[in-house]
Amino acid sequence: MIAANETPPRLTPDQYLVWEETQPEKHEYVDDKVYAMGGGSVNHGRIVIRLTSLLEAHLEGSNCITGNSDIKVKSANSPNYTYPDASVTCDERDRTTP
């Protein structure tokens, strides 16, 4: 059986945000292209857990929060949206963003 190649849509950043809300899977938006997120390996998962645990411990008592790959990130000065394995933000606005 041959699987059909589905061409991801080309969207603006605003269109991507609306479109992704209706998708059952997560997608990253990089350079006007949409990429479905795949699963990782056991070793990859273990490394990410260790890294985020270290970040969380280091930031304890600060106003910063640690995120994992469930959190979509848009970096300043970039139109891209990604789901990094680990992230840190100290911006108060991120504490109230769903």
Listed by start position, the domains of the chain span 13-95
Strand 33-36 to 27-30 pairing? antiparallel
Distance CA(58)–CA(64), nearest Å, equals: 10
Q: Name the residue type at position 97.
A: T
- pLDDT tens per residue, the chain (98 residues)? 455 456 666 889 999 999 999 999 899 999 888 988 888 889 999 999 999 999 999 999 999 999 999 999 998 889 999 999 999 999 998 888 77
**CATH number given to 13-95:** 3.90.1570.10
Task: State pTM to two decimals.
Answer: 0.78
